[in-house]
């Protein structure tokens, strides 16, 4: 277990942030742009940290900054996953890189139509070709 459970105590953060002479940063319960904005507003914090809410969803930062939709285009999704794998391969050799990429793929696939079947395939990728096939299948479910 990751030792984190229960909702963020925004009131507790507010009680610390209000009198604090230093910026207070809130963290947790920020798995969507709306939830992150709500936490920032309700806590009175100077800012928020996005942690696990960004796993598989790096585009969450774009929406938070007002730069457009949180959802990626088909091209952006594939490009992001391929770039992620490429960066991992710079320091992690096969076959371990594919074993580690499986966990990331599971996060990338959350919320996709047919996600359960896609995740079942994700946990068995063993090559660049497997990752690309999975990306193409997932991208087909993205509208646009």
Got the DSSP string for 70-123? SSPPHHHHHHHHHHHHHHHHTTS-TTHHHHHHHHHHHHHTTTSTTHHHHHHHHT
Cα–Cα–Cα angle for 103, 127, 141, rounded to 5 degrees: 65
Task: Quote the pLDDT of residue 120.
Answer: 96
pLDDT, mean of residues 116-127: 96
Domain boundaries, the chain: 10-64, 74-139
Indicate the pTM of the whole model. 0.81
Confidence of residue 96 (pLDDT cuts 50, 70, 90): very high
On the 0-12 / 13-18 / 19+ scale of CB atoms within 10 A, 122 is buried
pLDDT, mean of residues 107-116: 92
Could you tell me the two tokens for 113? 């139509």
Confidence of residue 20 (pLDDT cuts 50, 70, 90): very high
29: helix, strand or coil: coil
DSSP structure class, residue 135: H
Could you tell me the two tokens for 77? 């999704």
């Amino acid at each position: 277990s990751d030792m984190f459970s229960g909702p963020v105590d925004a009131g507790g953060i507010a009680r610390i942030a209000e009198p604090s002479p230093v910026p207070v940063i809130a963290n947790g319960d920020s798995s969507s742009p709306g939830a992150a904005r709500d936490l920032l507003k309700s806590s009175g914090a100077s800012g928020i940290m996005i942690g696990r809410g960004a796993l598989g969803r790096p585009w969450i930062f774009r929406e938070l900054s007002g730069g457009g939709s949180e959802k990626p285009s088909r091209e952006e999704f594939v490009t992001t996953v391929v770039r992620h794998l490429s960066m991992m391969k710079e320091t992690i050799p096969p076959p371990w890189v594919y074993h580690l990429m499986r966990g990331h793929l599971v996060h990338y696939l959350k919320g996709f139509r047919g996600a359960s079947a896609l995740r079942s395939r994700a946990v068995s990728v063993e090559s660049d070709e497997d990752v690309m096939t999975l990306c193409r299948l997932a991208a087909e479910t993205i509208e646009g």
